[in-house]
């Protein structure tokens, strides 16, 4: 097994800032800046960027819309990153998508609160522009309680603690990279991953407050499937798709496994994580594959604490243990996993993430 050597750097990023009161929604949307001190190798390295396509004239496209389309699509015009809008402009003018936007308008008009906040629905597109995508993590429904969902699957804003599924993702990650340290204060903000090319995409992009799956089968599924298909078709150098749980697995069925790496496992929910997720090895497998496609600079540093890296000296020593059998590795972490799972259950968030509901099996 080859050794991936990386320098520790300032890798943690902060979430996109919120708009000032009464400010235009367009005034604060721009591509997120790399975290202070971070290496460009871990964000938008030229080695992982796709060749620039035909120039998209956004202003001309907006002028081509009808008044009704322009009104219904104002959120997309203002907040969907242009690199994605260029590819999705035809999809969002379909009858199906416009009906979805009318539904959301009716929800708002009826006084029904929905998440994530409107300005965060497409935050995934701004943190991970199309030409930077290296990994896709497929989620399901956004979190449906206050101060949770902000447009990135599995991620929550502080001070909300990491939900149980995300805690299990941390356990899995630490099994792959022993130097990984979960963020302080039980935090669950994953924007550093997004800024490094990890697209965390939910199947549905909105949900009514406190009502899981309340916006399902309204049109988001078609749109997000188009996003997945677009990445699979256009990111020709290859992307890693992580699909955890049966619903996520169905979303990547058509992905060309010869061009891309498709990793499937049970969902990280406490209901299924012990059935193979915690030792699936997906985080390390993704990097080993990315290194073959993009070189050493194309791997993802999964660290979430500023100034830390999962590619520390301790990790390099672990990687060099070439002959360690998988069974032995699993046995070495089994006791630790059981202990950490008990902690997850004992310290779990009262409102479990909606995407884990019904995930009693794979």
Identify the CA nearest to 240 among candidates 193, 203, 276, 279: 193
Please give the pLDDT value at position 144.
95
Asked if residue 291 lies in contact with residue 2, where contact means CB atoms within 8 angstroms, the answer is yes
Asked if residue 137 lies in contact with residue 152, where contact means CB atoms within 8 angstroms, the answer is no
Residue 177 makes CB contacts below 8 A (sequence gap 6+) with: 283, 284, 302, 310, 311, 315
Per-residue pLDDT of the chain in tens (362 residues, 90 and over written 9): 444 544 444 434 444 444 443 344 444 444 444 443 344 344 444 345 555 555 899 999 999 999 999 999 999 999 999 999 999 999 999 999 999 999 999 999 999 999 999 999 999 999 999 999 999 999 999 999 999 999 999 999 999 999 999 999 999 999 999 999 999 999 999 999 999 999 999 999 999 999 999 999 999 999 999 999 999 999 999 999 999 999 999 999 999 999 999 999 999 999 999 999 999 999 999 999 999 999 999 999 999 999 999 998 544 444 444 434 444 444 444 555 555 555 554 454 333 334 433 333 33
Domain boundaries, the chain: 119-356
Active site residues: 141
Please give the pLDDT value at position 250.
96
Tally of CB atoms within 10 A around 99: 12
- Check: pTM over 0.85? Answer yes or no: no
Architecture (CATH level 2) of domain 119-356? 3-Layer(aba) Sandwich (3.40)
Sign of torsion over alpha carbons 284, 286, 289, 294: negative
Characterize the bridge pairing of strands 135-138 and 198-201.
parallel
Burial of 135: CB neighbours in 10 Å, binned 0-12, 13-18, 19+: buried
Helices 220-234 + 95-109 axis angle, to 10:
130
């Amino acid at each position: 097994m080859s050794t991936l050597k990386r320098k520790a750097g300032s890798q943690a990023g902060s979430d996109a800032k919120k708009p000032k009161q009464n400010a235009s929604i367009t005034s604060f949307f721009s591509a997120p800046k790399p975290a202070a001190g971070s290496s460009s190798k871990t964000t938008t390295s030229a080695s992982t960027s796709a060749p620039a396509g035909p120039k998209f004239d956004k202003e001309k496209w907006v002028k081509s819309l009808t008044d009704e389309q322009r009104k219904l699509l104002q959120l997309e015009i203002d907040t969907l990153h242009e690199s994605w809008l260029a590819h999705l402009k035809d999809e969002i003018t379909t009858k199906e998508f416009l009906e979805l936007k009318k539904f959301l308008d009716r929800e708002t008009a009826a006084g029904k609160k929905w998440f994530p906040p409107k300005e965060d629905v497409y935050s995934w597109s701004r943190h991970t522009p199309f030409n930077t995508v290296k990994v896709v993590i497929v989620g399901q429904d956004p979190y449906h309680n206050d101060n949770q969902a902000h447009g990135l699957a599995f991620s929550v804003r502080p001070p909300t603690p990491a939900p149980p599924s995300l805690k299990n993702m941390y356990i899995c990650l630490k099994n792959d990279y022993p130097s990984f340290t979960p963020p302080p204060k039980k935090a669950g903000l994953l924007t550093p991953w997004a800024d490094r090319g990890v697209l965390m995409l939910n199947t549905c992009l909105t949900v009514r407050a406190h009502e899981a799956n309340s916006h399902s089968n309204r049109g988001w599924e078609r749109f997000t499937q188009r996003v997945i298909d677009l990445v699979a078709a256009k990111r020709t150098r290859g992307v890693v798709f992580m699909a955890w749980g049966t619903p996520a697995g169905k979303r990547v069925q058509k992905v060309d496994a010869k061009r891309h790496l498709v990793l499937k496992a049970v969902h990280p929910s406490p209901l299924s994580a012990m059935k193979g997720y915690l030792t699936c090895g997906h985080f390390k497998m993704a990097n080993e594959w990315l290194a073959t496609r993009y070189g050493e600079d194309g791997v993802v540093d999964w660290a979430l604490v500023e100034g830390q890296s999962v590619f520390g000296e301790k990790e390099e020593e672990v990687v060099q243990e070439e002959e360690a059998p998988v069974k032995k590795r699993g046995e070495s972490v089994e006791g630790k996993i059981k202990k950490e799972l008990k902690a997850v259950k004992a310290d779990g968030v009262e409102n479990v993430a909606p995407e884990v509901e019904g995930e009693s099996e794979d």
